[in-house]
Amino acid sequence: MTAPVDLRPALTALVDHALSVRPEDLPREALEAAKARLTDVVGCALGGIRADGNAGLLDLMLAQGGAGQARVIGTPHRLPAINAAMVNAVFARSFDYEVMTVRYHDELIPSHHAGTTIPTALAAADHVGASGAELLAAIVVGDDLAARLLIASGLDFGQGWDGSSVYSAPGAALAAARLYGLDRDQTIHAIGLTVAQISHTIQDLYDGAMGFKLSQGTAARNALTAVELARAGWVGMTDPLGARFGFFATYTAGCSRPEVLGEALGSAYFAEAHFKRYSSCMATHNGIEAALALYEAHDFDPATIERLTVRVPAARMGNFCNKPFAPRAFPHCDAIFSYTFPVSIALQTGSVQPDAYLRGAEGWAVGQRLTDRATVAPLPEGRIGAEVEIALADGRVLSAANDRLAADPRFGGYDPVIASAKFRGQAEPRHGAARTSDMLASLEAVEAASSVAELAV
């Protein structure tokens, strides 16, 4: 068990800054990055509406009724803010396409925060009629807390907790607390009440369960519930981060870098920075880009591929993506967390987009064409990234490797043209080109909106 450490001064400093900093005093870079994350997550929610199970979730929430405090993205419906936050977060996670991976200087740490923090902040802002500038400021400080918690401890899948719900929830609570106008003590209570509700394990990813996307939804709902309770007078943990059974001791391997909690507070804002270009688990993206290199460099008929081998670092052989592709009750999850399925799609179509995971769609059939002749093997010691090798019926054996992703934020991976195309690809099938253009324009101008109700999403 991790020894308790008094982190109350660090949390108090974080909260004081988050509640007091004015939008105009935040660095332009942090605000622009928050706007990019907002646009990305909203686009993913628009695309996620059609994923398996999501219509049933929305119907359930509508049947429960309640005040129409916040919108459900991409629909005419409004729900209580806590339920709107949950539904929007589930929608956003559904195709595992949203921005992720915290950048800490030149270190990248796996994460799934924005898909929780942003739907929570958007629902809270909608409920209270906050301005677009206040929404962005709340996103900046909420994501910063989530990132600092992750950096200070490091994600340890071996513990079994799902980081998408663990680290994102306190950050979502801080964002909402700012928007609801909570004071310091109420906000710390809200964070404590949020920590008390953290749940979800990564077993869903091994078992192909719908719970993989529910984790972000309940984290959003629980964070906003905690804020509402704190506003109503509820009291949370005294030291929610450092106590004997607090956040770090219970849900992480321990706070190994406590200094990060106060590092450059007020001048540096840490957040997720890898804007995905492919709809699948990040662990599969090196393999996808290796497959795309083969697709673009060689003339071959995918139907003549007799053998497919995906090689990954030995440490990733135990990852939840390394399981035989055998679709179960929810095959979408089996496919999106698979080393071989998205590589199969990439080799045959030159892209990996959400349509590949919809049962009955052409992409789903395409993806399965190579998985029965695919294997996963370890790379030689010292190699990183992934390698894809295919053996063709004409006797050729072709291979390509990738050890640096095109979207790597350390090398300027964000491309606004690609980001716009990604948003359009998810929104246009349901809303059409003109409506999608209005949505994009609205999000681009979010900082000038007097109320988030003006957003055309």
pLDDT one-digit tens code per residue, 69-119: 999 999 999 999 999 999 999 999 999 999 999 999 999 999 999 999 999
Which run of H or E residues covers position 422? helix 416-444
Checking if the pLDDT of 4 tops 80, the result is no
- Look up residue 3 and give its DSSP letter: P
Let me know if 180 is exposed, middle or buried by CB neighbors in 10 A (0-12, 13-18, 19+): buried
Checking if the pLDDT of 1 tops 60, the result is no
Q: What are phi and psi of 273, to 5 degrees?
A: -140, 0
Checking if the pLDDT of 369 tops 90, the result is no
d(CA 120, CA 82): 8
Question: 110-138, pLDDT tens digit by residue?
Answer: 999 999 999 999 999 999 999 999 999 99
CA torsion angle for 85, 87, 91, 92 (degrees, to 10)? Answer: 10
Residues 171 and 224: beta-carbon distance below 8 Å:
no
Residue 392's contacts (CB-CB under 8 Å, 6 or more residues apart) are: 300, 304, 305, 306, 398
Q: What are phi and psi of 137, to 5 degrees?
A: -65, -40
Spell out the domain ranges in the chain.
8-277+409-454, 282-402
Residues 91 and 45: beta-carbon distance below 8 Å:
yes
Q: CATH number of 8-277+409-454: 1.10.4100.10, 1.10.3720.10, 1.20.1250.20, 3.60.21.10?
A: 1.10.4100.10
d(CA 389, CA 391): 7
Provide the token pair at 21. 């900093």
pLDDT at 433: 98
d(CA 119, CA 70): 10
Q: How many residues does the chain have?
A: 457
Q: What is 282-402's CATH superfamily?
A: 2-methylcitrate dehydratase PrpD (3.30.1330.120)
Checking if the pLDDT of 251 tops 80, the result is yes
pTM over 0.85: yes
Once rounded to an integer, what is the mean pLDDT over residues 172-201? 97
Average pLDDT of every residue of the chain = 95
Checking if the pLDDT of 368 tops 80, the result is yes
Longest distance between any two alpha carbons in the chain, whole Å: 73
Helix axis angle for 132-153 and 28-48, nearest 10°, is 90
pLDDT at 3: 65
pLDDT at 364: 76
Once rounded to an integer, what is the mean pLDDT over residues 347-354? 93
Place of tokens 């396409």: 97
* Distances in whole angstroms, Cα of residue 116 to Cα of each of 290, 395, 401, 430: 30, 48, 33, 23
| Domains 8-277+409-454 and 282-402 in one fold | no
Question: 382-406, pLDDT tens digit by residue?
Answer: 999 999 999 999 999 999 999 999 9
Once rounded to an integer, what is the mean pLDDT over residues 42-57? 97
pLDDT at 2: 59
Q: What's the Rg (C-alpha) of the chain?
A: 22
